[in-house]
C-alpha cells in the first residue's frame, strides 16, 4: 500500500484523542472518527506509525457495520461517502484523512469493554493455566491452548483511558453497569460474535476473540467505536489451527513478539521500530482485510 503516514490530525472541534483514533464534533448529533496510523502495544503508543493502517481499520470496521446493519449502531457512513455540505462543519479535508474517517451518531459510551472469546488464548489462557478460571469464573474442563469453548464466553473488562484494561468478574461487571444492562450486553455481544465467526469461518478464518463497545442513543443500546478489526480481534487461518498451540494471528502480535525480544520495561518511551516490523505488521492487516472483504486496498 502506497500511502503517506498520518500520526496526528488537527481538524476543527477535536474532542478526544485516543491511542489510535482522533474524534471531532461535526454538529450536535454527529462525530467524525479518524483512524490514524498510530499503533500501540502493551498500552504504549509507538513513536513510528504504520503508514496506511488507519485506512485498513476504517474500511474493515465500515464493512462490519454494514454487515451488522440490522442492529442498532452509531455508524452513518464512511467520510468519503458523506456530504458535509449539509452540515455547518466547514473543514477542508485532506483526502488521506477522509480515507481514514467515519461519520457516526453521538452516543453516550458504556464504560465496559465487551470481550467475547470463542477459543482460549492470550490472557485467558494465562489465567486458566494459573487459576483454572477465566475472568475469575472457574473452568471445569481440561482445556488445551487454543481449544474452542463449547459456547462463546463473555469476558468483559474495564475501559481504561490510560494504562491497562482490567478483567471484570460477572459480579464486578454487574456492579459497574447494572445487572439488566450487563445481561443485555452479554447476549448482544455473543450474538454479534457468533454471526461474525460463522461468516469468517466460511472465509477460512477462525475468530478467536474480539472486543465490542456499546453506548446509548435515545436510551437504546447501540454498537459503537470500531468493529472486528485487527486492533480489537484475533483472527487465525483455519489451515494453521491445531490444538495445543495458538496460531500466529492477523494483528499486531508480530509487533508484540518483536517488542518482547527487546530490552524494554513496557513503559514509555518504546524502542524504535525497524522498517521490517512496520511492513510485516501492515501486511497482516492488509491480508485479513482482503480475505474478509474480497477487496484490495493496494
Domains defined along the chain, listed by start: 14-106 (3.30.200.20), 109-256 (3.30.470.20)
Sign of the dihedral through C-alpha 77, 189, 214, 209: negative
234 with 117: CB under 8 angstroms? Answer: no
Cis omega (within 30 of 0) for bond into 269: yes
User: Cell 505488521 belongs to which residue?
Assistant: 281
215 with 113: CB under 8 angstroms? Answer: no
Query: pLDDT class for 162, splitting at 50, 70, 90?
Result: low
**How much is the average pLDDT of 225-252?**
94
Q: What is the pTM of this model?
A: 0.95
Least confident of 157-161, 256-260, 274-278: 157-161
Q: Please give the C-alpha separations between residue 69 and each of 76, 77, 79, 260, 289, in angstroms, as whole numbers.
A: 10, 11, 17, 39, 19
Query: pLDDT class for 253, splitting at 50, 70, 90?
Result: confident
pLDDT at 163 over 70: no
User: What is the Cα–Cα distance from 259 to 128, expressed in whole angstroms?
Assistant: 24
Amino acid at each position: 500500500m502506497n500511502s503517506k503516514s498520518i500520526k496526528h490530525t488537527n481538524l476543527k472541534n477535536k474532542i478526544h484523542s485516543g491511542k489510535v483514533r482522533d474524534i471531532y464534533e461535526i454538529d450536535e448529533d454527529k462525530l467524525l472518527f479518524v483512524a490514524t496510523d498510530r499503533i500501540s502495544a502493551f498500552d504504549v503508543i509507538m513513536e513510528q506509525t504504520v503508514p496506511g493502517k488507519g485506512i485498513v481499520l476504517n474500511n474493515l470496521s465500515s464493512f462490519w457495520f454494514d454487515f451488522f446493519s440490522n442492529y442498532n449502531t452509531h455508524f452513518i457512513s464512511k467520510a468519503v461517502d458523506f456530504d458535509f455540505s449539509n452540515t455547518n462543519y466547514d473543514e477542508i479535508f485532506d483526502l488521506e484523512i477522509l480515507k481514514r474517517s467515519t461519520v457516526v451518531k453521538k452516543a453516550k459510551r458504556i464504560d465496559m469493554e465487551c470481550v467475547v472469546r470463542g477459543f482460549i488464548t492470550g490472557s485467558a489462557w494465562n489465567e486458566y493455566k494459573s487459576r483454572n478460571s477465566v475472568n475469575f469464573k472457574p473452568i471445569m474442563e481440561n482445556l488445551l491452548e487454543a481449544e474452542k469453548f463449547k459456547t462463546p464466553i463473555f469476558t468483559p473488562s474495564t475501559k481504561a483511558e490510560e494504562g491497562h484494561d482490567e478483567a471484570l468478574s460477572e459480579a464486578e461487571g454487574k456492579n459497574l453497569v447494572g445487572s439488566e444492562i450487563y445481561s443485555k450486553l452479554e447476549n448482544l455481544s455473543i450474538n454479534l460474535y457468533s454471526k461474525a465467526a460463522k461468516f469468517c469461518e466460511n472465509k477460512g478464518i477462525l475468530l478467536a476473540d474480539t472486543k465490542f463497545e456499546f453506548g446509548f442513543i435515545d436510551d437504546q443500546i447501540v454498537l459503537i467505536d470500531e468493529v472486528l478489526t485487527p486492533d480489537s480481534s484475533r483472527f487465525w487461518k483455519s489451515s494453521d489451527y491445531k490444538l495445543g498451540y495458538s496460531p500466529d494471528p492477523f494483528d499486531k502480535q508480530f509487533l508484540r513478539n518483536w517488542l518482547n525480544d527487546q530490552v524494554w520495561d513496557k513503559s514509555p518511551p518504546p524502542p524504535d521500530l525497524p522498517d521490517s516490523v512496520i511492513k510485516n505488521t501492515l501486511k497482516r492487516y492488509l491480508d485479513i482485510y482482503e480475505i474478509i472483504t474480497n477487496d484490495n486496498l493496494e
